Amino acid sequence: MVVGNVGVGSPPVRPYLQAEIDLVRLIRLLLADDNCEILETVAEMLQPRYVVVAALSDGASVLQQAPALNPDVIVLDISLGDTTGFEVVRRLKQAGVPAKVIFLTVHETIDFVRAAFDLGAAGYIFKSRISSDLIEAIDTICAGGRFSSADVAASSSSC
């Protein structure tokens, strides 16, 4: 029995593999950063693998649109211009928005990392590590884990 689509020279897709592919494609992301270049770069990097439901440049827009868009994950800068990402997360929680949050930020001090996780964030990514950490972080938190660039940086710098 052949399962999946079979093209010329292509092997059949196993059902469990197809389910994993479909699951990855269904992860819905809302992105928020006040730096339009970063926002565009992150959206372009993630769109082949995930569904980007919005790319927003301020906290007010996140608070207004997140409940209706119902993303699985919100990738959020801490410094948003009109407010902080921390305040946005507090207000989203009060509003009952169930999305998991990953902070994507230039703030690489442990105090910021701790504050983010104390607030309930599932991930904390340094902007200096976007290309190496962001996709892994999204996959990890969608599988029920937590991810921090601080942990990765610490483990790669130890002997």
| pTM score of the predicted model | 0.80
Contacts of 142 (CB under 8 A, 6+ apart): 27, 72, 73, 100
What are the pLDDT digits (tens) for 9-60? 445 555 555 555 555 458 999 999 999 999 999 999 999 899 999 999 999 9
- Alpha carbon 27 to its chain centroid, in Å, reads 10
DSSP string, 112-138: HHHHHHHTT-SEEEEGGGHHHHHHHHH
- Return left, alpha or beta for 10; rule: phi > 0 is left, psi -120 to 50 is alpha, else beta: beta
CATH architecture of 27-154: 3-Layer(aba) Sandwich (3.40)
**C-alpha torsion sign, points 49, 23, 125, 31:** positive
